[in-house]
Chains A and B, each alone.
Chain A
């Protein structure tokens, strides 16, 4: 059974750094084609994928995050960590950890086969 579970702070102040951890089970992040990433759902906005790290160590980031986001992976712990610097109130939303299974090729075109339950994050002073 595939599970993904997010953990992290529910409240951060503007300009602070957000660190979210996704702990997963039921698959290996080094299996060909697999990617683990993050999708955000902000109030009144469309879903938006933020970042994905793939089985081959390639990573992709949404242009909307510019250079603020970093993904790291710990295969032994089965965790992926998202770090976003300089948080702003517009970054408020629910952050979902997601599993990509169609990332086998050099051109990455991800859809999201499995989702965690999500973790709410509010950015406010």
Chain B
């Protein structure tokens, strides 16, 4: 099974700064089969990125995804107040489609 490790566990940044979140897979993942989700406190997760770099409907272009093989990145170019949340990656290359443990982006 492909296991995902997200780093860092917590990222402390200020509004306006750039956030770079990492998701590393234990085995190679087809570049089409990696998604990112955002979960704000008290809310359900929301799809941000699918197929590594495609933004879901309504997602601002400050969110971008990249990567291939075993290393994937979610970048938030300039943090807005509503972006402070937990972010999860998910691979859907293998049948179990497992999620990472999450990275919390908190206000510094």
Contacts and interface: CB of A to CB of B under 8 A. Distances in A.
Nearest to B46: A115
B100 interface: yes
A27 interface: no
Interface in A78-124: 96, 102, 108-118
A57 interface: no
A102 B92 CA distance: 11
B45 A115 contact: yes
Contacts of B98: 46, 48
A114 B47 CA distance: 7
Contacts, number: 51
B97 interface: yes
B92 A113 contact: no
Contact of A96 (B44, B56, B93, B99): B44
A109 B97 contact: yes
A23 to B, nearest CB: 15
B50 A47 contact: no
Nearest to A118: B44
Interface of B: 33, 35, 37, 43-47, 50, 56, 88, 90, 92-93, 95-102
What 9 A-B pairs come out closest when comparing CB atoms?
A: A115-B44, A47-B99, A111-B35, A109-B92, A46-B99, A111-B50, A111-B92, A46-B101, A118-B44
5 contacts: A96-B45, A102-B50, A111-B47, A112-B35, A117-B44
Given A109-B97, A110-B97, A112-B37, 10 more contacts: A47-B88, A60-B95, A62-B96, A96-B45, A111-B47, A111-B92, A112-B35, A112-B90, A113-B47, A115-B47
